[in-house]
Structure 1
Amino acid sequence: MGPVKHYRAFQIDPDGRVFGCINIVCGDDEEAKRQAASLVLLHRIELWRLDKRIAQFDQSSAIVPH
């Protein structure tokens, strides 16, 4: 198994405030994006690695450019 990377998936409410955070550990950005996209229920998800935003997902599970 290769090196793992640590990500955070922040749950964002309709007013743009963070109300939750889910830690994701996986091998690369693409796997992290798939996992984060699966977390979208009613609120937007922002996926971060360290201080870099990797992707943003909304209810349609489409990647929103940052």
Structure 2
Amino acid sequence: MSPENRSPAIAAAIILAGAALVIYFLPAIVLWIGNFSPALGFAVGAALLLSFFLVFWLRARYQQRHKR
């Protein structure tokens, strides 16, 4: 693996590891927050799931800007 390919691979691995941790603990987090407010539990769960896609979307935009 060349040095140019190593940095994106490490970044993607870190992002995926973080997402895996969030998804692993997501049911416990949502149920705990859902004890206070079911709507808030839903909102937090949806935000955590959407943040996974938001990180990759932001990374793609960053790479498009700095590729030129």
TM-score higher than 0.5: no
Higher helix share: 2
Q: Provide the TM-score with structure 1 as the length reference.
A: 0.25
Q: TM-score, structure 2 length as denominator?
A: 0.24
Q: Which has the larger radius of gyration?
A: 2
Larger RCO, structure (CA 8 Å, separation 6 or more): 1
Greater fraction of residues in strand:
1
